[in-house]
Amino acid sequence: MLLEQYYIECLSHASYLIGDRTTGRAVVVDPRRDIDEYLTDADRHGLTIEGVINTHFHADFVSGHLELLDATGAWIGFGESAHTDYPIRRLRHGQHLSLGDVDLEILATPGHTWESISVLVRTHPDATPTAVLTGDSLFIGDVGRPDLANLGDSSTTDLARAMYRTLHDTLLTLPDTVTVMPAHGAGSSCGKNLSSELTSTIGEQRRTNPAAQPMSEDDFVAMITDGQPAAPTYFSADVALNKTDRARFDPHHRIPEITTDRLRTELTAGVRVLDTRTPDDFAAGHLRGSVNVGFDGRFAETGGMVADIGDRILLITYPGDEQAAALRLARIGSDGAAGYLTVDTTGTFPTDLTDLVTTAPRTTVTELNRLRAADEITVLDIRNPGEREFGVIPGAVHIPLPHLRDHLDRIPRDRPLVVHCAGGWRSSVAASLLRAEGLDHVSDLIGGYDAWTTDRHHT
């Protein structure tokens, strides 16, 4: 048996290739849109990809099932209650899919979504299970959240109760030795306590996962519905894309470098400019109206928070980052990257753009404390709800970054605004977005809440 995990940090996403080396038959589980790695590895191991299994309708990225269909003719499988506008195999609980000796058993595991399934893997039909691919049902350290955009007519509580039964009646009944292989890891917005570990075992999760500890169903529901990270607005768009016969990803497409004249034309037409450099380099000089989404962070997911799927986008990057940045956006279905302009680490823009270049104000903790004491500013906290359990800056207005564009009317405009997150990366995103939306006198807190608490404890 071949069981290969593919993990991309930017989306904290894991996908899998499962194959039987004897028969040469294989399936891919939860693929991303850029499928070359699966095809290359299948060919290297002498495997033919004959099926694609999606454990559910993903919200945080566009799945690559249609690309694999076009490349290999593979069938596409979803849980029994799934509905799409392209042909699928509806996979029912207890159904076995044979790759030869390798046996895949479908487990219905609703809770994150109603159509959610897990895939139990055996080296042959009578063997003790080797692994279970749990999708977004059981994570390492958590379970999938029940409150995302694909709820349909159900309530969050309905799905949370289904997750309780999934966990205790299905997944935790598996042998302790079974390897747990989920679809996401730490940093994903699909849960709140995800571990940085990429695999675990049922026994380890039974011992250490807070959601798997003995508790009543009501206590479980309260636990998993409280403190979830704010869901990016693009999630609902990606769910819709994953249900439809949408445009395919073109692995050969390269976005062009743009001329300064073209850039001015695009700016006049209202293009969204994403500057992928670090917050420090962005603050030192950037194009007026651009939004700072650093390539060194959760670029794709955050890009989906500040630009709608379908928006026309121009990228400002360090040399060599431009095509990878466009690819990461394409993974969430944002195919509108129309061109790029590179800026080296000295921050030098072309001289004929000098009139468009500006700097970004940033605030130190010392300055923040002085301004707060004088009651001269409004502080905006853009962290997720669960992060605020560890403490807040008194008086701060709270709007999570994923919801910021939809709640601009809640932001006081009568005095300067200082934006903070935990460490300073997301606050640069938020502050630049607010300035791009027309708010004046907006700065971000260097070092974020972490720096503020460190200073407070040292003074």
Q: For the segment 197-250, what is each residue's pLDDT rounded down to a tens digit?
A: 899 999 999 999 999 999 999 999 999 988 788 888 899 999 999 999 999 999
Q: Determine the Cα–Cα distance for residues 282 and 304; give it in Å rounded to an integer.
A: 19
Amino acid 448 reads G
Query: 């109760």: which residue's tokens?
Result: 161
Choose the weakest-confidence range: 218-232, 330-344, 412-426: 218-232
Is a pLDDT exceeding 90 seen at residue 305?
Answer: yes
- Which CATH number fits the domain that encloses residue 436? 3.40.250.10
Which domain, by its residues, includes 351?
Answer: 260-358
In a domain, 11, yes or no: yes
Q: What pLDDT, on a 0 to 100 scale, did the predictor assign at position 456?
A: 81
- Helix then strand count (H, E) for the chain reads 13, 23
- Taking CA atoms, 194 is separated from 12, 25, 224, in Å, by 10, 32, 12
List, in sequence order, every residue forming a beta bridge with 292; answer none if it has no partner.
275
In a domain, 252, yes or no: no
Instruction: Say yes or no: 197 and 266 in one domain.
Output: no
Structural domain count, the chain: 3
Is a pLDDT exceeding 60 seen at residue 150?
Answer: no
Give Cα 152 to chain centroid, integer Å: 21
In a domain, 255, yes or no: no
Instruction: Say yes or no: 213 and 326 in one domain.
Output: no
Stretch 177-188: mean pLDDT, rounded?
90
**Local confidence band at 309 (pLDDT 50, 70, 90 cut-offs):** very high
Q: What pLDDT, on a 0 to 100 scale, did the predictor assign at position 190?
A: 62
Instruction: Say yes or no: 124 and 192 in one domain.
Output: yes
Instruction: Say yes or no: 176 and 308 in one domain.
Output: no
Stretch 151-166: mean pLDDT, rounded?
85
Instruction: Say yes or no: 335 and 385 in one domain.
Output: no
Q: What pLDDT, on a 0 to 100 scale, did the predictor assign at position 233?
A: 86
- Which CATH number fits the domain that encloses residue 170? 3.60.15.10
Instruction: Say yes or no: 236 and 274 in one domain.
Output: no
Choose the weakest-confidence range: 29-38, 113-122, 381-390, 414-423: 381-390
Supply angle C-alpha 185, 191, 194, rounded to 5: 40
Q: What pLDDT, on a 0 to 100 scale, did the predictor assign at position 230?
A: 82
Share of the chain above pLDDT 90, in %: 89
Instruction: Say yes or no: 404 and 437 in one domain.
Output: yes
Q: For the segment 34-88, what is each residue's pLDDT rounded down to a tens digit?
A: 999 999 999 999 999 999 999 999 999 999 999 999 999 999 999 999 999 999 9
In a domain, 316, yes or no: yes
Instruction: Say yes or no: 389 and 450 in one domain.
Output: yes
**To the nearest whole number, what is the mean pLDDT of the chain?**
94
Is a pLDDT exceeding 70 seen at residue 192?
Answer: no
Is 10 a known active-site residue? no
Write down which residue in 327, 358, 389 finishes a domain. Answer: 358
H/E stretch holding 252: none
Is a pLDDT exceeding 70 seen at residue 189?
Answer: no
Q: Determine the Cα–Cα distance for residues 349 and 288; give it in Å rounded to an integer.
A: 12
**Local confidence band at 191 (pLDDT 50, 70, 90 cut-offs):** low
Is a pLDDT exceeding 80 seen at residue 193?
Answer: no
Q: For the segment 168-182, what is each residue's pLDDT rounded down to a tens digit?
A: 999 999 999 999 999
Catalytic residue among 131, 148, 418, 421: 421
Instruction: Say yes or no: 95 and 14 in one domain.
Output: yes
Write down which residue in 358, 382, 415 finishes a domain. Answer: 358
| Beta strands 362-363; 2-8: pairing state | unpaired
H/E stretch holding 213: none
**Local confidence band at 194 (pLDDT 50, 70, 90 cut-offs):** confident
Of the two residues 191 and 61, the one the predictor is more confident about is 61
In a domain, 254, yes or no: no
In a domain, 327, yes or no: yes
H/E stretch holding 434: helix 425-436
- Residue 280: both structure tokens together: 């420090």
Is a pLDDT exceeding 80 seen at residue 396?
Answer: yes
Instruction: Say yes or no: 81 and 210 in one domain.
Output: yes
Instruction: Say yes or no: 162 and 270 in one domain.
Output: no
**Local confidence band at 459 (pLDDT 50, 70, 90 cut-offs):** low
Q: What pLDDT, on a 0 to 100 scale, did the predictor assign at position 152?
A: 56
What is the value of pTM for the model shown?
0.94
Instruction: Say yes or no: 131 and 232 in one domain.
Output: yes
Q: What pLDDT, on a 0 to 100 scale, did the predictor assign at position 97?
A: 98
**Local confidence band at 454 (pLDDT 50, 70, 90 cut-offs):** very high
The candidate with the shortest Cα–Cα distance to 404, out of 375, 382, 432, 387, is 382
Q: What pLDDT, on a 0 to 100 scale, did the predictor assign at position 114?
A: 94
Write down which residue in 358, 392, 419 finishes a domain. Answer: 358
